[in-house]
Structure 1
Amino acid sequence: MVELQSSLLLKKQLAELRRSPVDGFSAGLVDDDNIYKWEVLVMGPPDTLYDGGFFKAILDFPKEYPQSPPKMKFVSEIWHPNIHADGNVCISILHEPGDDRWGYEKPEERWLPVHTVETILLSVISMLADPNFESPANVDAAKMQRENLPEFKKRVAQCVRKSQEDC
């Protein structure tokens, strides 16, 4: 029953995104037979270092969606303090609901069942524009951005160019 409900909700969200696309990203299924695995293309936000980039990612939804959050992983190379070196996105709304055992996040900042694919991707776009340095997932990127901004900008520019070539 839970799986049927999550499947119906994801089909509804996909249909809504197709009917009313949102600036900044596009989304679709990796495989038409699997509603739980989405392919997304996140456009680098205007007037940021990521401007002009086309970054591919995968959203993997659990069968318990929307009670549990999906996992998001960039498959395009991207250099950002809140994205692990392997592409996994570290953003509050994708963390399991409830209290943060380390005390960095308030429960209302974490996953809530009211979130949709649209709110997730808009949050990721916002994260690209405005990194959270309080708890970096990629310590090397955060350190480089703080201590050697020209090198950080160069590394991001390489990722943007590569994402354009790969599209």
Structure 2
Amino acid sequence: MATSQSALLLQKQLNELLKHPVEGFSAGLADNDNIYEWEIIIIGPPDTLYEGGFFRAKMTFPKEYPLMPPKLKFISDMWHPNVYPDGEVCISILHPPGEDKYGYEDAGERWRPVHTVETILLSVISMLSSPNDESPANIEAAKEWRENYPAFKKHVQRIVRNAIG
């Protein structure tokens, strides 16, 4: 029962995005037979180091969606303090609901069922614009961001060149 409800909700969100595209990203199914796996293209936000890049990502939804968050993973190379070296995005709204056992995040910053594909992707675009280096997923990228910004900028420019549509 929950699976069919989550599938219906995801289909509704997909239809809405297809009817009313949102600037900054495009989303669609990776496979027409699997509503739980989406292909995403995130366009590097204007006036950021990522401007001009078209970054491929995969969003995988759990059967418990919207009670639990999806996972978002860049397939394109990504160099960012809030993206693990394997491409997985680490932002508060993608963390399971409830209290943070480490005390870094307020429960209100974490996943809530009101979030949609659109709000998640807008948060990721915002993350690209302003990294949070306080609790980095990629320690090396965060260290470079803080200690050697020119090198960080060069690194990002290289991945953007490779991610041009």
Tell me the TM-score normalized by structure 1: 0.98
Give the structure 1 partner of residue 113 of structure 2: 113
Taking the aligned partners of 2:100 and 2:12, their CA distance within structure 1 comes to 31
Root-mean-square deviation (CA), in Å? 0.4
SS in 2 for 1:142: helix
In structure 1, the partner of 2:59 is: 59
1:31-74 residue CA offsets vs partner (Å, 9 max, x unmatched): 00000000000000100000001000000000000000000100
**Secondary structure of the residue that 1:146 maps to in structure 2?**
helix
3-state secondary structure, aligned to 1:122? helix
The TM-score normalised by the length of structure 2 is 0.99
1:35 correspondence with 2:35: yes
1:122 maps to which residue?
Answer: 122
TM-superposition CA deviations, 1:123-152 (whole Å, max 9, x none): 000000011111000000000011111110
Partner residue in 2 for 1:48: 48
Residue of structure 1 equivalent to 2:89 = 89
Structure-1 separation of matches of 2:151 and 2:131: 17
Classify the secondary structure of the residue corresponding to 1:42. Answer: strand
Please say if 1:131 is aligned against 2:131. yes
Q: Per-residue displacement from partner, 1:4-29 (whole Å, max 9, x unpaired)?
A: 00000000000000000000000000
- Where structure 1 has 5 or more consecutive residues not aligned to the other structure, the ranges are none
3-state secondary structure, aligned to 1:136: coil
Q: 1:96-129 CA deviation, whole Å, 9 max, x = no partner?
A: 0000000000001000000000000000000000
